[in-house]
């Protein structure tokens, strides 16, 4: 990029880990205004929340089942990872489409509705 005299805009949110404290000759960092992440990033607009709710439902169900059967509740790391995978699988495709459409103000076509 430097040899070609090209410049790039790097758009970042205000997360402390994204702060750039070095001089980048051909990269210009631009920081989003505060409280805009949920308006510009579909995952923050509801997709992550949906997955977390699915995971909490799964965990509460396991806790209640453990309580009712009087079997000690144990959760291994592998169990937790499998539950997260299942919670992600339970996120509705409609939720993903709605969050992208909301943030980017574009009309994505849901393949399930066209079939």
Rounded CA-CA distance 91/48 in Å is: 9
User: Residues 67, 51, 91, 81: what is their CA dihedral angle, to the nearest 10 degrees?
Assistant: -70
3-class secondary structure, 73? coil
This prediction's pTM: 0.63
User: Does 94 or 41 have the greater pLDDT score?
Assistant: 94
pLDDT band for 108, please (50, 70, 90 cuts). Answer: low
Q: Provide the pLDDT confidence category of residue 4 given band limits of 50, 70 and 90.
A: confident
Mean pLDDT, all residues of the chain = 84
Residue 46: CB atoms within 10 A of its CB come to: 18
């Amino acid at each position: 990029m430097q040899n070609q005299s090209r410049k790039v805009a790097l758009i970042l949110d205000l997360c402390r880990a994204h702060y750039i404290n070095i001089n980048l000759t051909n990269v210009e960092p631009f920081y989003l205004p505060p409280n805009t992440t949920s308006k510009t990033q579909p995952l923050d607009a509801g997709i992550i929340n949906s997955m977390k709710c699915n995971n909490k439902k799964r965990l509460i169900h396991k806790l209640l089942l453990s309580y009712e059967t009087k079997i000690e509740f144990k959760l291994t790391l592998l169990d937790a990872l499998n539950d997260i995978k299942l919670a992600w699988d339970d996120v509705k495709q409609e939720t993903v489409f709605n969050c992208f459409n909301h943030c980017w103000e574009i009309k994505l076509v849901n393949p399930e509705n066209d079939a």
